[in-house]
Amino acid sequence: MNAMYEKNIDLEATELRLGLPGTSKKEITSRSKKRPLDESTEGSSSNNDDRLECSAPPPSKAQIVGWPPIRSYRKNSLHQKKEEAEAKAGVYVKVSMDGAPYLRKMDLNIYEGYQQLLEALENMFKITIGKYSEREGYKGSEYAPTYEDKDGDWMLVGDVPWEMFIPSCKRLRIMKGSEARGLTCGL
């Protein structure tokens, strides 16, 4: 019922979309798809990203066309600014490692994906974390990176798309030893 009349002359204009004018199609679809942790490695298990809305959050409240009544040039430039502001803001979380005497803090925003984050963790604590696979978690070392999410649950780092991870991660904890091994044995 509420179709849009976009100023762009392209086929997307006839699509019913959730999202503000000015947001790109790419942003929307990536939210509902699960992405493999490490796209460059093809060796590990095959079935990675074909399950679509497994752990996707519920879609944001449907945006009504032309509401609030702001002219498009204002919306677009503000949207950019918002993204810039969020990008610069910095998402600092505490990082603890089992057995370490004190905690550290890191800004998740400076990393572009799990690869970089894990490398940073490895550097920070002088450890090796091991390889992530969906089926087996982190194999190859006695460490497993976990995080506490908004619901207070401890989750394995790497299961959800990076963009979803950032806003939901409240703190990081690198588990060690038997606890960590427990996580890798297929829960």
Partner 1 sequence: MSENNHLHHHHQNHCSPSPAETMSEDDEPGRPQPPDPGSKKTRNCAAVHPSPHPDRVLEIVLEHVLQFLTARRDRNAASLVCKSWYRTEALTRSHVFIGNCYSVSPSRVTARFPRVRSVAIKGRPRFADFNLMPLNWGAHFGPWVATMGKAYPWLERVYLKRMSLTDRDLCLLGDSFVGFKELELVCCDGFGTGGLAAIASKCSQLRVLDLSDTEVMNDGVDWISCFPEGETCLESLIFDYVECPINFEALESLVARSPALKKLRLNREVSLGQLYRLMVRAPQLTHLGTGAFGPSEAQGASDQEYDYASAFSACKSLVCLSGFREIVPEYLPAIYPVCANLVSLNLSHANINVEQLKPIICQCRKLQVLWVLDSVCDEGLKAVAAACPDLRELRVFPFDPQEDAEGPVSEVGLQAISEGCPKLESILYFCQRMTNAAVIAMSKNCPDLVVFRLCIMGRHQPDYVTREPMDEGFGAIVMNCKKLTRLATSGLMTDRAFAYIGKYGKLVRTLSVAFAGDSDTGLKYVLEGCHNLQKLEIRDSPFGDAALLSGLHHYYNMRFLWMSSCHLSRQGCREVARALPRLVVELLSYEGNEKMDDGAVDVLYMYRSLDGPRNDTSESVTIL
Q: Interface residues with partner 1 (CB under 8 A)? A: 1-7, 13-14, 20-21, 61, 63-75, 77-78, 81-82, 85
**Residue number with CB closer to partner 1 (9 or 185):** 9
The smaller minimum CB distance to partner 1, of residues 54 and 78, is found at 78
The Cα 150–Cα 80 span in angstroms is 26
CB nearer partner 1, residue 74 or residue 126? 74
Residue type, 110: I
Nearer Cβ to partner 1 (3/103): 3
Smallest distance from partner 1 to CB 183, Å: 36
Cis peptide before 36 (omega within 30 of 0): no
10 Å Cβ neighbour count for 70? 13
Minimum distance, C-beta of residue 9 to partner 1, in the bound complex (Å): 8
Q: Report, in Å, the least distance between residue 91 CB and partner 1.
A: 17
Contact indicator for 119, 129 with CB cutoff of 8 Å: no
Distance CA 163, CA 77 (A): 22
Least gap, CB of 89 to partner 1 (angstroms): 12
| Residue 130 token pair | 């091991």
Dihedral pair phi/psi, residue 184, rounded to 5°? -90, 0
